[in-house]
Chain A
Amino acid sequence: MLTYIVRRVLFLPIVLVALSLMIFSMMMMLTPVQRLAVYAPDPSFMKGGASFVKDQIELYGLDDPFLLQYGRWINNILHGNLGWAQSFSMPVGQALVQLFPATAELGLLAMLPIVFGAIWLGTKAAVHHNDPIDHSIRVFTILGWSFPTFVFALLALMIFYGWLDWFPAGRLSHWATMEVASDSFHSYTGMNVLDAILNGNGHILLDAIRHLVLPVITLAYVWWAGMVRIMRSSMLETLRQDYVTTARAKGLSERVVQTRHARRNALLPVTTVAGLIVAQLMGGLVITETIFDYHGLGQFAARAAQNLDFPAVLGFALYFAVILVFVNLLVDLLYAFLDPRVRLG
């Protein structure tokens, strides 16, 4: 176990360096003039003529050898300087920090229905193997897996906002935004739901939840499909094990056998895909936040990409990639901890 952790942690810096090299290589596919535009304070900057542009490229060292520029870039990042996000008129780093709570709130809330819904449905399908319940769950998962997130989200918006007006777009209603920004409301975490609870403010809580329902469901339904499949086959596998037969033979009720003996062990393989879910979720966040006009990192990335705001796009990519690396590390360690075969091996 210890060697495994040590190996895994030692590998971490290598992954991070490789990742940053990859992102930087993508950036270097742009011409020096394109990259110079990144430093431009306003459009007139680039109109200074060919010799001016050449001077500026020299000044910022945009023609230097790859490794030299890479070193400078890394040095900047380590000092918290990710460049200037033109489409948001603020430094990239500041935008990333400012928008993080909103996205974290949405992502974490989406995890709950994904995980619990999938475990529940997957267990149900396995227990009712090959009967109508199993078949309908199977059909449901294939349909869900094939349905485009953005079409789902747009339809949801059309029906539940445009027609019924139950769940509006955005993060908060206008009055709530004003109230959250006022002095009487303390923003402890930047996550509206949590802050509203900490402030004991029921109106804000309700408003925040109303805005979160559709994005959360949008993020969740795709993953139900994938997770239910994994949970189902894992549960089927476990139900065939000898110890399950033993538990039944001991006269334990079927419910206890299923929940205590089978399901706990069936959850193990599901842990391994947790990292994959987070990765997929990050992509889903970009689409979901864009459609529901939810001011978070995903919307930031999509807008930056549309505006060809390269520092913002690359800063965002690096940010999410680093988060994902740590999530994966955590998942692997958790798996090692949960599985005695790995823990003691």
Chain B
Amino acid sequence: MGQTMKTVRYLLKNPLALTGVVLLSFFIAIATLAPVLTHREPYQTSSYQMPRAGFWQRPQAPSPGHPFGTTQGQYDIYYGMVWGTRTAFKIGLGVVAIGALIGIVIGSLAAFYGGIVDEILMRLVDVFMSFPFLIAAMVLTTILGKGLNQMMIALVTFGWMGYARLIRSEIIRIKEMDFIQAARASGAGDLRLIRMHILPNSLFPVLVQTTMSTGSMVLTAAALSFLGVGTEPGYADWGQLIALSRNWIMGEGGNPFAYWYTLVYPGIAIFLFVLAWNLVGDALRDILDPRLRGKRA
């Protein structure tokens, strides 16, 4: 109870954090209610396939049937944005969870065993890190082929190293603390030490990191879709909606903003989604970072 009150008090005192929580709840609601908020056409093979109002290229302005208009190829922008929220959660949470898990395993092994194991694993981390992230993900997605899963595999492959480094340095710090020595002296085995004592204590920084990078993973995925190596054509995905707007941003007939809705609506969706995660991550860091905690109180 005391903890809940503290969190509520913190949120009320920090408008930025509150904004983050509200935005995130909003997106969770949209993702959950997606089937209620949209109407599935009988010809759609999957709910993630955006319905089309025709096949001609030119986007159509917002109308009662299509509240946000249709984009190139007559894909309904509103539908794509609603189901794209689910896609964004899938990408963000999926990639970050698996990446963090891999990172935690590798980082823990390196920190706990030290010596040659540490050296080899950390050099491996270095090599993976010496690849520019977006480019590495782009290359691997190109090779694996288009699709959500392929893209997620590519993002995980090059997205685990930060966690490995973080957890390693945390564990090395904690390993030397007195309570670990005490546990060891009382006969705890390696696995028990890692599982019961070291990991729980080093996970908080990882939690902050995962929150912060959920947003940026969604950004990178959207960038890949934008570059044309992401999801399959017609998949409800914000990055793809923006890619579809690209040919129309110069407008037509002296009106440069003729097709603004093809860019602005999906753009706002990505921006607010990433912003929500960043604000929540920022707040978590404030709350969990013991160095900052003392000063705020």
A→B interface (CB under 8 Å): 11, 14-15, 18-19, 22-23, 26-27, 29-30, 138-139, 142-143, 145-151, 154-155, 157-159, 161-163, 279-280, 282-284, 286-287, 290-291, 301-302, 305-306, 308, 310, 313-314, 316-317, 320-321, 324-325, 328
Residue numbers in A under 8 Å from B257 (CB-CB): 158, 162-163
Q: A26-B139, A145-B278, A283-B134 are known; give 20 further A-B pairs, CB within 8 A.
A: A19-B130, A22-B127, A146-B271, A146-B275, A147-B274, A148-B271, A150-B223, A151-B263, A154-B249, A157-B250, A162-B257, A280-B133, A287-B134, A287-B223, A302-B138, A313-B142, A317-B139, A321-B130, A324-B132, A328-B130
Q: Is the CB of A148 within 8 A of B270?
A: yes
- Are A148 and B143 also in contact (CB < 8 A) when A19-B130, A142-B275 are? no
Max count, chain A CB within 10 A of own CB: residue among B133, B245, B249, B250: B249
Residue numbers in A under 8 Å from B144 (CB-CB): 29
Q: Is the CB of A282 within 8 A of B132?
A: yes
Q: Is the CB of A305 within 8 A of B130?
A: no
**Chain B interface mostly:** helix
Q: Is the CB of B142 within 8 A of A154?
A: no
Max count, chain B CB within 10 A of own CB: residue among A26, A143, A314: A26
A-B contact pairs, 24 of them (CB 8 A): A18-B123, A18-B124, A19-B127, A29-B143, A146-B275, A148-B274, A149-B223, A150-B223, A158-B257, A279-B132, A279-B133, A280-B133, A283-B132, A283-B133, A284-B134, A286-B135, A290-B227, A302-B138, A305-B138, A306-B227, A306-B229, A310-B143, A313-B142, A324-B130
Number of A-B residue pairs at CB separation under 8 A: 145
Q: Which listed residue, A280, A302, A321, touches B227 by the CB 8 Å rule?
A: A302
Residue numbers in B under 8 Å from A284 (CB-CB): 134
Segment 40-56 of B: residues with Cβ below 8 Å from A? none
On chain B, the number of residues with a Cβ less than 8 Å from chain A's Cβ atoms is 46
B→A interface (CB under 8 Å): 16, 123-124, 126-128, 130-136, 138-144, 215, 219, 222-223, 226-229, 242, 245-246, 249-251, 256-257, 260, 263, 267, 270-271, 274-275, 278-279, 282
Give chain A nearest CB distance to B140 CB in angstroms.
Answer: 6
Complex Cα–Cα for A163 and B255 (A): 8
Q: Is the CB of A305 within 8 A of B139?
A: yes
Q: Which listed residue, B219, B229, B250, B256, touches A305 by the CB 8 Å rule?
A: B229
**Chain A interface mostly:** helix
Q: Is the CB of B130 within 8 A of A162?
A: no
What 7 A-B pairs are tightest by C-beta distance, nearest first? A283-B134, A162-B256, A146-B275, A151-B267, A282-B132, A146-B274, A163-B256
- Are A143 and B127 also in contact (CB < 8 A) when A154-B249, A158-B250, A308-B142 are? no
